[in-house]
Structure 1
Amino acid sequence: MEPQATPSRTAPRVVLISPYPDITSFGVRAISAYLRAAGVPTRLVFLPDPLGDALTDQPERYPPGVIEALVPLCADATVVGVSLMTNYTDNAAQITRALRGRIAAPVLWGGVHPTIRPEECLAVADMACVGDGEEAILDVVRALAAGQPVTDIPNIWSRRPDGSLAQNAVRPLSADLDAMPPPDWSHEEHYIWEGGDALIPLTPDVTERHLTQGTVSRLLGRVGYQTMTGRGCPHRCAYCVNDAIKSLYGAKGYLRWRSVPHVMAELEAARAAMPFIGYVWISDDAFFARPLENIREFCREYKARIGLPFTCLGSPATVSREKMDALVDAGMVYMQMGVQTGSPRIQALFNRQAMGNDKMLAAMAVINASKDRMLPPSYDFILDTPYETLEDRLESVRFVAKIPKPFRLQPFSLVLYPGTKLAAMAAADGLLTDERRDVYTKSYTMRRPDYVNFLILLAKGGRFPSRLLALCAATPVARVLSARALAPLWRLAFAVAGPAKRLLKRLLGRGA
């Protein structure tokens, strides 16, 4: 049914809800800032998923008391927006069903999952936002406040009174990201669930406590502020939803950058509002893709105006010595780069053949040249690809043995997210038959407990002897140790590895 469009007797307000474990929630904060700049009051509610990365098939994520506390915070809304990725569909559904019939406002879902599967989302939500949400949601607010229909708003899908779908095309991407205000970290009308039945104000002190728990914050021993200096990615990896979104908009103009002065103004304001910030985490998919002269400008301004350590992400195709030297000189102390696989065959499957082993090793050599001024870099690997053979997987382990030390590995179990080319291929080939089990309730931490993945686990800290690792990845050795009869041994090894590591760290006084 079409969302109710009745004239508002009070000023319109938007309540935005984030179910993500990380309270950074960049999209929600960006939309809130945009709406506030347009004169629309917002209220942010952070409901961190209690399961975190330990996903299970548990549709009811939140206790009833939390939902009861949420209802009055949404009572004066013109529209309630819920942000979600695929793994948070259950959270969004529980929230939406609980609000329906208890508040007058329609519920709009936005984010990656509604962008890819809007019709599926409309089985629960009143509206689904496809693509960038700032301008679209502002149009929705204005239409509802004026008693007008929302069925013709670009980027917005809904149902007409006759039950048919209003499937609106996306509007052109905004090329001028400087026209967007920085994300909303005002702490005004921000609330959070920290357990129990209460929703408490999200104050700077509470924010500091949450940000301190971030993975990189723990690594650096500093509180991190996460931001994005652009939108989009230069690559079209077959496992990544960026490729699907590029297809929605057209690849041209998808990668966009904010100007250096715009980024600096945000960081200065963030430091003034949150003096506890100890480093900046630039989470662009490939910050190194910025042109060299732009990176040099960034580095000059960052050193002069911010001066904090910072971290960022790069890709083998974008790392260069000139960029690396400038960024390290400006304060970059840690970086992350996607490797994904050492198998040329799987690189082609992933559409990363242009970033083959030689290209990756060259980028790693550039990174390693700054090892005395940085923490060990992290290299991402994708495990458990259904198209891999044993030999493909061993090629990845052998590649790890060639990586110059020091380094860390970040191994992720492949999740075949909707909309990606790899998911469509796997479904067509009969390799993805239960999305509920293998996508919606699967975390990237759920690595298959077998011999080859155990080798990756051993190599994760970058300290395992390279020659020994290569020997363990020899095909005859791996065939014997990957035998089905030994499967219980590897399951046991994975079961005890995590607790044993945590215990050892506590005994050594290094913390968790």
Structure 2
Amino acid sequence: MRVVLISPYPDITAFGVRAISSFLRQNGVATRLVFLPDPLGDALTDQPERYPARILDALADLCRDADLVGISLMTNYMDNAVQITRSLRARLMVPVLWGGVHPTIRPRECLDTADMVCVGDGEEAILDVCLALETGGPVTGIANIWSKGPDGVVAENPVRPLTTDLDALPPPDWSHEEHYIWDDRAGGIVALTPAITERFLAGGTVSKMLGRVGYQTMTGRGCPHRCAYCVNDAIKSLYGAKGYLRWRSVSHVMDELAEARRIMPFIGYVWISDDAFFARPLEEIRDFCKAWKERVALPFTCLGSPATITREKMDALVDAGMIYLQMGVQTGSPRIQELFNRKAMGNDKMLAAMRIINSYKDRLLPPSYDFILDTPYETVKDRLDSIRFIARIPKPFRLQPFSLVLYPGTKLAAMAVADGYLTDERSQVYTKSYTMRRPDYGNFLILLAKGGRFPSGLLAFCARDGVAKVFGSKLFRPFWELAFAVAGPAKRLVKRLLGRR
């Protein structure tokens, strides 16, 4: 058996395809990985045809000896997966299986294009598909796998129990063996070498900020929270919330990092991208930090939530080498916090976590705080509440503002459909980027505050009801539209000029 696994994501970390490749190889299935970074990146537009014909021809050549092709996708990469699948189908007779978040949430929609869909975790399910194809057996009864027969009847199978022992799974495949990438510098799809990997990883946002090449990993799966805008809630409902949050052992993580550094000695820091790394119990974090200092001794970054950050955990992590932290705030409005199902992480709790983080400011880079903008249920008061909250955040900090995307399967998306706010998924979801912020006064203030240098007192003054009423009026709308139109190009120009110096 040979399986070709394709990733359309701009970030070549691509946990899903790398994890499945490792598991299949461990079980005797040959794999080939092909990375096709979306040429649009975060700048999404309604452009279904992402890849030129010469790239699709080269991809078909890499799939000619495959018994199965797997494509990983999230909602914003649906067009990529459709184009790739249709292209392969026109050239080859090979079954195509889709997996990832979007197929998990919308398997029937995905079966309009794919032959099979994996719902939920994919390692064991895709191995079972390989065994069935190898022996000529049916795939219609495999847990986690949906398929459509020639008669159009869909075989819907339940999910199998979650793998609770993550140590039983091998670390992601960074071997560079049978790995390929679409690299414009090389003019097409070429073998992925450690040197090319270094260049792609160095281009990541955090890597550029730190001036180091970052390696991204996850020490667990799942999230302890059930935020209404997040697909984690829908996946929890699929499996049942119990046991959804799982952790790898400390030694398993350290073994992965040792092997990664052997293959890629250029790694300068590690990005731990668990949704809520701080949710690990304190004693586990202390064990993790002890092993980190002994076996890794590199700077690292991680994500936390206001409900899980404590001084004891911060002490251990900063001492071990944590240099940067990202935390989800999302909104400073109590009403929207309740809508988001984050009432337990209200302003007092968030400020308490921020003060703890701020007490390490001489040893950390300014933390990043995520905010969600453009929620259709927000009133002017809700938006001003968020801006006033930002004015209370202890400096230094950075803001990471994201325009809300109502992803399928989330409670907020279902509510927005019922209330008439979500009427065109193509434009409002599938081709909408989180960078597409609404050009108005409130978002302009958040843009000013993004770097954490805007005077807090002045920000609070600008968020006063009377001031906001004037500058948020229809009279000033053309000004804010113009300001947002020129902000991006102006920022890119400044970066280029500074780069030349």
Q: TM-score range by the shorter chain?
A: over 0.9
1:141 equivalent in structure 2: 130
Q: Distance in 1 between matches of 2:152 and 2:329?
A: 46
Paired residues in the alignment total: 500
Q: Distance in 2 between matches of 1:207 and 1:504?
A: 28
Shift of 1:479: 1.1
2:314 equivalent in structure 1: 324
Query: 1:202 is matched with which residue: 192, 195, 211?
Result: 192
2:117 equivalent in structure 1: 128
What pairs up with 1:122-201 in 2 under 5 angstroms? 122-195=111-184, 198-201=188-191
Q: Distance in 2 between matches of 1:439 and 1:501?
A: 26
In the alignment, is residue 228 of structure 1 matched against residue 218 of structure 2? yes
Query: 1:119 is matched with which residue: 91, 108, 111?
Result: 108
Q: Distance in 2 between matches of 1:496 and 1:329?
A: 43
Q: Distance in 2 between matches of 1:335 and 1:242?
A: 21
Q: Distance in 2 between matches of 1:382 and 1:198?
A: 37
TM-score (norm 2): 0.98
Q: Deviations over 1:177-204 (max 9, x none)?
A: 0000000000000000023862100000
Q: Distance in 1 between matches of 2:331 and 2:436?
A: 18
Shift of 1:160: 2.5
1:412 equivalent in structure 2: 402
Amino acid at match of 1:89: M
In the alignment, is residue 40 of structure 1 matched against residue 17 of structure 2? no
Name the Cα RMSD after superposition. Answer: 1.1
Of 373-382 and 492-501, more deviation after overlay is shown by 492-501
In the alignment, is residue 499 of structure 1 matched against residue 489 of structure 2? yes
In the alignment, is residue 21 of structure 1 matched against residue 2 of structure 2? no
Shift of 1:104: 2.4
Identity %, equivalent residues: 77
Please give the secondary structure, in 1, of the residue aligned with 2:394.
coil
TM-score (norm 1): 0.96
Q: Distance in 2 between matches of 1:488 and 1:344?
A: 30
What pairs up with 1:99-498 in 2 under 5 angstroms? 99-195=88-184, 198-498=188-488
Shift of 1:331: 0.2
> Contact (CA 8 Å) 1:63, 1:197: kept in 2 or not?
no
> Contact (CA 8 Å) 1:237, 1:351: kept in 2 or not?
yes
Amino acid at match of 1:267: L
Query: 1:53 is matched with which residue: 32, 36, 42?
Result: 42
Amino acid at match of 2:17: V
Query: 2:73 is matched with which residue: 72, 80, 84?
Result: 84
Shift of 1:484: 1.5
Q: Distance in 2 between matches of 1:510 and 1:377?
A: 28
In the alignment, is residue 70 of structure 1 matched against residue 29 of structure 2? no
Please give the secondary structure, in 1, of the residue aligned with 2:362.
helix
Give the unaligned 5+ runs of structure 1. Answer: 1-11
Please give the secondary structure, in 2, of the residue aligned with 1:373.
coil
Q: Distance in 1 between matches of 2:325 and 2:247?
A: 19
Please give the secondary structure, in 2, of the residue aligned with 1:409.
strand
Q: Deviations over 1:447-500 (max 9, x none)?
A: 001000000000000000000000000111111111112111001111222233
Q: Deviations over 1:262-308 (max 9, x none)?
A: 00000011011100000000000000000000000000000111000
Please give the secondary structure, in 2, of the residue aligned with 1:372.
coil
Q: Deviations over 1:50-75 (max 9, x none)?
A: 00111111110000110000001111
Q: Deviations over 1:74-124 (max 9, x none)?
A: 111111000000000000000000011422220000000000000000000
Q: Deviations over 1:186-236 (max 9, x none)?
A: 000000002386210000000000000000000100000000000000000
Give the unaligned 5+ runs of structure 2. Answer: none
Shift of 1:508: 4.9
Q: Distance in 1 between matches of 2:434 and 2:408?
A: 15
Q: Distance in 1 between matches of 2:90 and 2:140?
A: 22
Structure 2 CA distance for partners of 1:319 and 1:455, relative to 1, 3 Å: same
Q: Distance in 2 between matches of 1:349 and 1:172?
A: 31
Q: Deviations over 1:410-458 (max 9, x none)?
A: 0000000000000000000000000000000000000001000000000
Of 22-31 and 194-203, more deviation after overlay is shown by 194-203
Please give the secondary structure, in 1, of the residue aligned with 2:376.
coil
> Contact (CA 8 Å) 1:451, 1:478: kept in 2 or not?
yes
